[in-house]
A and B are shown apart, each in its own frame.
Chain A
Amino acid sequence: MIIRRSALVILMCLEIMLSAANLALVAFSRFRLEAGLPDYDGQMLVFFVITVAAAEVAVGLAIVVALFRSRRTIDVTTLTSMSH
């Protein structure tokens, strides 16, 4: 995320980070038995994370597309208009 300059790839990296958290959650849910079964509370969170991430990607991609339309680039090193 720090090295790559394409906004799209940065979004992908974001997904990787979320997935890592998901994996941790699922693992904990399996290892922490509740009433003899995996603790499904953790999986619920994963479920919601996936859902929200899907929405987030949709919005993010729409923003990227809009950005690309107006600037013809998605290189984040050149997209620094927020600094002024």
Chain B
Amino acid sequence: MLFRRIYQFLIVYCLGVTGLLAIKYATGLSNYVIPDLTLLFDTARRMLTGYFFDVLNTLSVTVLGQMVSIFMAFFVGIIGRKSSWLGSFIKVMAYNIQAYPIVALAPIIFILMGDGFLSRLLIASMICYFPLLLSVLGIMASPIKDIEHFYIATGRMRWQLEVKIRAFENLNKLTTVIAGSATLAMAGTIVAEFIAADQGVGYSIRIALYQSDLARILVALFSIGIIISVYQGILETVGEQIKTKWFAPKGGELL
């Protein structure tokens, strides 16, 4: 699984680079616009190790940011699942904040929180939480009558139970979204670093962009891709294990 993810990423990456090189040689572009392989390897030799550690730095924020996002998404999703005024208000709030592109909110965040670790974390979480929220809202707003009826009828229904029932019945969807949101958290962290921080791979990309150095950007994308593949592979493996072990699902279905 993990291994597959990595070599599939390598295929995707090579396809991308091959495409760029095809454009380069077809239209005779210089190394300044699209680097050749020599330059690419040379840049990789010089920068890869550094970028690798930059990505690990980014990843540390990503992991935390993803957790914060999951927490926020469930929090808002659970409150916002009702069609009451408050539910709808929370939803409007969550949606509106999302509609503001983070690039526009960033200055306000910096004014309020400075440009340290917290801002990075906040921005990463804000980018990552919304897609999660949409799924959680969709799931939390759909009753599962054949299970819930008993608890409602006997006055046992609490919001925790309702959430648990709906989450459990949609475990597949939730794990897909949560595992998938890893890349969102990563992208979010990089965006945050890009506009604010002075650490992480997003910051390195910003510098490379300043100098229009596509070779460095491609090397950075490579390190990002490898590490995100590994991270996601691990998440997926863990997700599978949680699903099969902990929740002991309908083992051996005959249909």
State yes or no: do A and B come from one complex. no
Residues of A near any B CB (own CB < 8 A): none
